[in-house]
Structure 1
Amino acid sequence: MADAEAALAETGTLALFDFGARARRDDPRCLQVALESFDAPSTLEIWQVDAPVESGVAGDLRWSAGGGWLYAAIELDERDHGGPQATAARAYEQLRAFVGQRAEHHVLRIWNYMAAINQGEGDAERYKQFCIGRAEGMGDFFAEGFPAATAIGHHGEVPLLQVYLLACDQPGQRVENPRQVSAWRYPRQYGSTPPSFARAMSLPALDALAISGTAAVVGHASAHHDDLDAQLEETLVNLEALLASAGMSAGFDTQSPLKAYVRHGVDAARVNDFLQQRLPGVPVLVLHGDICRGELLVEIDGWRYV
């Protein structure tokens, strides 16, 4: 496990994510993610660039930048802002205003973690309310195309919305999955405002693919309701379809870290065993999180390097 203080002391450390219960750090580059890790000891994720890094705070935002790359994060308590829609709108308004005036204004990848993501029925479901607020806050900022993204529910007692992103001074290349309807074209049954993300993003100059949250969705419909093994198989098929669509060779290797979000804690060992068998040597961080559709049990995102 990487040492946090040593990593933060390095010149090129852009961001550090703690998937565990360590004490919070005041460094703007640090984020204590609201998802529980099944690893012991808990895991750190570190982003580094080949350049000096500057960092700071702007309103509710924390940020760092270096070498043409930008990290920005915001955490808001829904109790202070009026629920998931209003909180998402405020978060994305601040992100849009900050990133829009930066040289690194090409947003490539976004992560969204919120409490009780599946709570509520129909259009009152919290995830659907989040999607409305996100669209309100974004405005036309992504008129030329959406970034890759993940949205997962956490189990924290505080209804905290955490959003963080990676942006660059060069645009990436959006990638869609031919097996799936593009998320922004979902039919009305998925809410009055469809999800707004690309299935993946090829990063500029890095020969890397940032993969959005990927689950057992075919067309626009969830497949294999409540069948964990079948959902895992379908998810891997979708991941391979994304690699092919991006013009990359099949498979993942030891340099392609993934995250698996697991709805039920009792399934974590099974998910870990499945992925070790099917993706030997691939580093996978297994986290306790709720998928944005109640019938889905697992979702995978991550990185693939050439």
Structure 2
Amino acid sequence: MMLDVKFEYVNVPSCKDFKTAFKNALSKVKTVEKLLKISVFAASESVESYLENVSFTKEEIKERFGLHAVEVSYVAQNTLHAELAIELVYANDTSTVLYKTLGGVSYVIVRAENKKMLLISGLIGDDKQSINEQSNAVFKTIEGIFSLENMAISSIVRQWNYIPDITKMENNFQHYQQFNDARSLFYEKTSWGKGYPAATGIGTKNAPLLIDVIAMEGHKEELPLHNSKQIDAHIYSDDVLLGIKEQSLKKRSTPKFERAKLIIENSGASVFVSGTAAIMGEESLALDNAGNQTDITIDHIENLVAKGLSKTYRFRLIPEFESVRAYVKNLSDYTVVRQVCEKRLPGVPVVYVEADICRDELLVEIEAFVKI
């Protein structure tokens, strides 16, 4: 059921402002039936304009989609292949989709037989608070929805964490480390027998913290996938963590995510590939060479997908990349990153955005959703 989803993309080549571009993009959306998720990628001029545009997207979605209105995730990242890009996720035709709200927060439930999927999108923090405070507040909202739906926090299989100025240091606290500490405290509320979620932690500009999650229950099997060439991020040594820890913790927290998550059903399987970069063991590679970093990153992704194929060989001989995002740190590296992606992943739709990676020396990060 659940992972029989499809992705569609709308790109607006050029437009005078965000609102016009967003309206233009929505006019090209073919259907809203069984729409689960909308992610909008566009640069933000300021936090104030970001919040204004978020309100605008909510109003437009409600007006155009009515009962099928979903929360929009406005990701404040400059799109490199267009002025604005929209990623839409749809459920398959046999599932039942329910649109719900809690405390003004919209979320989506998908049901089929004994299976259930929960999607929460567009949860933003208060930019006047620290990253730690924003994270705690957003996680509290997530916990409330999970409690209402009687779902375990450990049912999260995919999480996106958009962190403003991700590598910035403030009073010896690093933004990314502050988020990791808050996430660890949230995750401690449950056990993770099937592994942590697949996840992306990536930078944004002129926006508050933003988190999206997908959770699942009732599927046949769920496995974390490991890359033998990389140490799992959740067991990194303290040597690669930056900034001081939060007072409530004994030590700095590692990033709690798996390299990829394999979801197996009777009729097929899918892999959520986490945000992946040119890291060997726990050390960054190919410094100052975006093309080489992209090649290494795709090697890692192919390794993870091959691991998934080895466990589900009866479904597909060739993996099908449904969705790929490439986060590029420097605008000047966009062309070479795109050239490598098009060579290595021919015909695959890729969203290219400008974003800071979780380490200053990393120039590109790539994530994927793959049917196997």
TM-score of the two chains, using structure 2 as the length reference = 0.74
| Structure having the higher Rg | 2
Alignment pair present for 1:98 and 2:145: yes
Residues 173 and 102 of structure 1, relative CA distance in 2, 3 Å threshold: farther
- Which residue matches 2:225? 175
1:195 to 244, 247, 255: 255
- Whole-angstrom distance in 1 between the partners of 2:124 and 2:173: 23
2:361 to 292, 295, 301: 295
- Which residue matches 2:117? 69
Farther off after superposition, 19-28 or 183-192: 19-28
Deviation at 1:112, TM superposition (A): 0.5
- Whole-angstrom distance in 1 between the partners of 2:146 and 2:330: 36
- Which residue matches 1:83? 130
Alignment pair present for 1:134 and 2:168: no
1:210-263 Cα shifts (integer Å, max 9, x gaps): 10000001111111122212211211111121112223589765x432100000
1:259 to 325, 330, 346: 325
- Whole-angstrom distance in 1 between the partners of 2:289 and 2:301: 18
In structure 1, the gaps of 5 or more residues are: none
Instruction: Give the letter aligned to residue 199 of structure 1.
Output: R
Q: Which runs of 4+ in 1 moved over 6 A?
A: none
Deviation at 1:295, TM superposition (A): 0.5
Deviation at 1:122, TM superposition (A): 10
Query: Contact 1:28–1:57 (CA<8 Å) still a contact in 2?
Result: no
**Helix, strand or coil: the match of 2:258?**
coil
Residues 6 and 282 of structure 1, relative CA distance in 2, 3 Å threshold: closer
1:164-188 Cα shifts (integer Å, max 9, x gaps): 0111123532111111111110001
**Helix, strand or coil: the match of 1:4?**
helix
- Whole-angstrom distance in 2 between the partners of 1:111 and 1:60: 21
Deviation at 1:8, TM superposition (A): 8.6
- Which residue matches 2:167? 118
- Which residue matches 1:272? 338
1:60-111 Cα shifts (integer Å, max 9, x gaps): 64311122221113111231xx311121122223213322442554211000
**Helix, strand or coil: the match of 1:275?**
helix
Alignment pair present for 1:24 and 2:57: yes
- Whole-angstrom distance in 2 between the partners of 1:11 and 1:129: 39
2:294 to 217, 232, 235: 232
Residues 225 and 63 of structure 1, relative CA distance in 2, 3 Å threshold: same
In structure 2, the gaps of 5 or more residues are: 1-8, 11-24, 44-52, 60-68, 242-251, 311-315
TM-score of the two chains, using structure 1 as the length reference = 0.89
- Whole-angstrom distance in 2 between the partners of 1:149 and 1:100: 22
Query: Contact 1:90–1:137 (CA<8 Å) still a contact in 2?
Result: no
Residues 60 and 201 of structure 1, relative CA distance in 2, 3 Å threshold: farther
Query: Contact 1:110–1:149 (CA<8 Å) still a contact in 2?
Result: yes
- Which residue matches 2:48? none
Alignment pair present for 1:214 and 2:276: yes
1:223 to 274, 277, 285: 285
Deviation at 1:4, TM superposition (A): 3.4
Q: Percent identity?
A: 24
Residues 162 and 301 of structure 1, relative CA distance in 2, 3 Å threshold: same
1:58 to 92, 102, 109: 102
Alignment pair present for 1:146 and 2:196: yes
Alignment pair present for 1:281 and 2:328: no
**Helix, strand or coil: the match of 2:38?**
strand
Residues 121 and 217 of structure 1, relative CA distance in 2, 3 Å threshold: farther
Alignment pair present for 1:163 and 2:211: yes
- Whole-angstrom distance in 1 between the partners of 2:134 and 2:239: 23
Deviation at 1:302, TM superposition (A): 1.2
- Measured on the aligned residues, the alpha-carbon RMSD in Å equals 2.5
Query: Contact 1:244–1:250 (CA<8 Å) still a contact in 2?
Result: no
Query: Contact 1:212–1:302 (CA<8 Å) still a contact in 2?
Result: yes
Alignment pair present for 1:48 and 2:85: no
Instruction: Give the letter aligned to residue 195 of structure 1.
Output: P
**Helix, strand or coil: the match of 2:333?**
helix
